[in-house]
Amino acid sequence: MRNRKRVYRKFSYRECDTFAAFLREQSLKGWHFKEWKMGFVFERGEKKDVVYDVQVFPKGREYDYKPEAEAKEYADYCEVAGWEFVDGQGRFCVFRKCGKDALPIVTEEEKFQNVRMAEWRQWLREILCYALLAGLFVCQYVLWPVSAMSFYNNMIMFIVCIAMIRLLWRTLDGIWLLFWGIRQKKRLLAGQVITYDKVGLQKDVYVCLREVFCLGLLFWLAFQSGYDWMLFMLLPLLAVVVGVSVLFAYLRPDRENVWMMKVATAAITMVMAVVVVAVILGEGILLPQNRNDASEPPLLMEDYKGVSGEKNVVENFRQTGVFGEMYGVWVEYAPENGLRYEIYRSPYPWMVERTWDVEVRNREMEECTAQWEAVYAGFWDSYCYYVKYEDAVWVLRTGEKLSDEQVQIVREKLEKID
């Protein structure tokens, strides 16, 4: 029969009374709280009613893996009042009643202030992080993208969606926290007892459903765009993140050492993240062969003009997203300038307009709409055509102006793309 067990469960500061009740319930079953170490560690003992009190220590820090000097001094003070300090982590301090005439550790007003401030500090740190990430992703990939290519890449859209979901989640939880604080303050002023057992959107079941939704969204976007095999590229990165979290929870480093460990971990994770993102986004940073299709590009320079010399297909790829698909080709000819083009197709007129706005960027062009039989077409800077159809946008860098016959050949080739 085992004498120890480990329970994996998470409590919010707003649940400190629920936390204490959980520990008391375990003691009634003969399991007594010993320490934090990769979860809650309990030791088997005599079944008895042990009263616990879980306090939020205002001088603690969110990433304290073990009680620091301030918490230990606080524990000495509480022991005089009849409470034995068991263990602590973050801003939590767990006490066990050891005296019949134990006094309350803090007043109701102090406890409310400590819990509320701890919750708001945690919320503010997370909301600023999520707002920064969401703002960067939205600005870079949605509002002011360098290229319209990001609109047709599901993995980029997943990054944007996850950042926005987490930002919205914590924003709604902040609204709940605000009303919770106002309601509890009124109860306190009315002389009523406050029970800390409500957690809002941070409840485990809600967070689990959120993560399941995000994971489902990832799989759907990956399979829809043909990136399903690339999901396995995330496994090493997830293994590092989970492994480091487990290692920290087991070793419980103090404040002096935790930052060095975090910096080293962040560096390793960053390198792995760059590798994974480089492959997923298909930018060819490390594995350019994953970007290229073995088939012949639909349009080559020799299709509409005579060329000599060797050609080099630098890029030939297709990517499909929820908003449409994009086809990119870059063929180098020596000593010619080469041919490069992107074909964006979408069933959504607003996405076609957005693609056009991003690619054209108010360039002053020589109009040639009739030549391309398009909604609008323009020739820019003596080497590039921009063509807009009802369901597509073409960007062709031909390096020269094309004749009517050449334009007709180009159109016939590109319109045959499945």
Has residue 285 got a pLDDT over 60? Answer: no
Contacts of 365 by beta carbon, 8 Å cutoff, 6+ apart = 378, 379, 380, 386
- Per the domain annotation, does 102 fall within a domain? no
The pLDDT of residue 391 is 95
- Per the domain annotation, does 80 fall within a domain? yes
pLDDT (mean) for 75-83: 88
Has residue 128 got a pLDDT over 80? Answer: yes
**Which of 176-185, 213-222, 272-281, 379-388 is the least confident region?**
272-281
Identify the domain boundary among 290, 317, 341. Answer: 290
Has residue 288 got a pLDDT over 50? Answer: no
- Per the domain annotation, does 295 fall within a domain? no
Q: Please tell me whether residues 196 and 135 are part of one structural domain.
A: yes
- What proportion of the chain, given as a percentage, has pLDDT over 70? 88
Q: Please tell me whether residues 272 and 313 are part of one structural domain.
A: no
**Which of 93-97, 267-271, 276-280, 392-396 is the least confident region?**
276-280
pTM over the 0.85 mark: no
Rounded Cα distance between 20 and 9, Å, is 13
Identify the domain boundary among 226, 252, 282. Answer: 226
Q: Please tell me whether residues 123 and 222 are part of one structural domain.
A: yes
Closest by CA to 41, choosing from 76, 79, 75, 9, is: 9
Is pLDDT larger for residue 386 or for residue 399?
386
Sheet architecture: strand order including 52-56: 52-56, 92-97, 83-89
**Which of 126-130, 198-202, 238-242, 273-277 is the least confident region?**
273-277
Q: Please tell me whether residues 134 and 153 are part of one structural domain.
A: yes
Q: Please tell me whether residues 41 and 132 are part of one structural domain.
A: no
pLDDT (mean) for 248-264: 75
- Per the domain annotation, does 296 fall within a domain? no
Is pLDDT larger for residue 208 or for residue 124?
124
- Per the domain annotation, does 13 fall within a domain? yes
Span 188-237, pLDDT tens digits: 999 888 889 888 888 878 888 888 888 888 888 777 777 666 666 666 76
Question: Helices (DSSP H) in 190-289: which residue ranges?
Answer: 204-225, 234-251, 255-281
Identify the domain boundary among 54, 76, 97. Answer: 97
- Per the domain annotation, does 127 fall within a domain? yes
Question: Helices (DSSP H) in 296-396: which residue ranges?
Answer: 349-360, 369-372
pLDDT (mean) for 245-265: 75
CB atoms inside a 10 Å sphere around CB 188? 16
The CATH number of residue 389's host domain is: 3.40.1000
Q: Please tell me whether residues 202 and 128 are part of one structural domain.
A: yes
* Phi, psi (rounded to 5 degrees) for 53: -135, 125
Q: Please tell me whether residues 68 and 131 are part of one structural domain.
A: no
Domain residues for the domain of 380 are 301-415
The pLDDT of residue 246 is 81
Instruction: Pick the most confident of 77-86, 233-242, 250-259.
Output: 77-86
Tokens of 188: 């306190």
Q: Please tell me whether residues 54 and 76 are part of one structural domain.
A: yes
pLDDT (mean) for 385-396: 97
Span 294-344, pLDDT tens digits: 578 999 999 998 887 788 898 898 888 899 999 999 999 877 678 999 999
Please name the amino acid found at residue 383: Y
- Per the domain annotation, does 266 fall within a domain? yes
Number of separate domains in the chain: 4
pLDDT (mean) for 13-19: 93
Q: Please tell me whether residues 365 and 263 are part of one structural domain.
A: no
- Per the domain annotation, does 137 fall within a domain? yes
Contact 372, 387 (CB under 8 A): yes
Q: Please tell me whether residues 31 and 68 are part of one structural domain.
A: yes
Has residue 283 got a pLDDT over 80? Answer: no
Q: What is the per-residue DSSP string for 176-190?
A: HHHHHHHHHHHHHHT
Whole-number mean pLDDT of the chain?
86
The pLDDT of residue 282 is 54
Q: Please tell me whether residues 128 and 141 are part of one structural domain.
A: yes
Is pLDDT larger for residue 132 or for residue 258?
132
- What proportion of the chain, given as a percentage, has pLDDT over 90? 48
The pLDDT of residue 365 is 94
Confidence of residue 289 (pLDDT cuts 50, 70, 90): very low
Q: Please tell me whether residues 68 and 137 are part of one structural domain.
A: no
